[in-house]
Structure 1
Amino acid sequence: MLPLALSIGDPSGIGPEIAVQAWLQRKALSLPPFYILGDPALLAARARHMGLDAPLAELDPEDANSYFAERLPVVALENSLTDTPGQPSAANAAGIVEAIARAVEDTLAGRACAIVTAPIAKKPLYDAGFQFPGHTEFLGHLAEEATGIAARPVMMLAGPELRTVPVTVHQALSDVPSTLTAALIEQTARIVARDLASRFAIVAPRIAVAGLNPHAGEGGAMGTEDAEIIAPAIAALRAQGIDAFGPLPADTMFHARARQGYDVALCMYHDQALIPVKTLAFDETVNVTLGLPFIRTSPDHGTAFDIAGQGLARPDSLIAAIRLARQLADNAAPTT
Structure 2
Amino acid sequence: MVLEAIHYCRGELSILNQLLLPQSAQYEMVGGVQDAWHAIRDMKVRGAPAIAAVGCLSLAVELVHKDFSTTEEVAEFVSEKLACLVSARPTAVNMTREAQALEEELRDMIRKEGSTAVGVRDWLVTKIEGIPERDIQVNRDIGQHGARHIVEHTRGQKIVILTHCNTGALATCGYGTALGVVRTLHEAGTLERVYCTETRPYNQAVVVGADRIVANGDVANKLGTFSLALAAQHHQIPFYVAAPCSSWDPKLPCGSSVVIEERAAAELTHINGQRIAAQGIDVWNPAFDITPANLITGGIITEFGVFPAADLTAALLASKS
* Fold match by TM threshold 0.5: no
Please report the TM-score for the alignment, with normalisation by the length of structure 1. Answer: 0.25
- Structure number with greater CO (CA < 8 Å, separation at least 6) is 1
Please report the TM-score for the alignment, with normalisation by the length of structure 2. Answer: 0.26
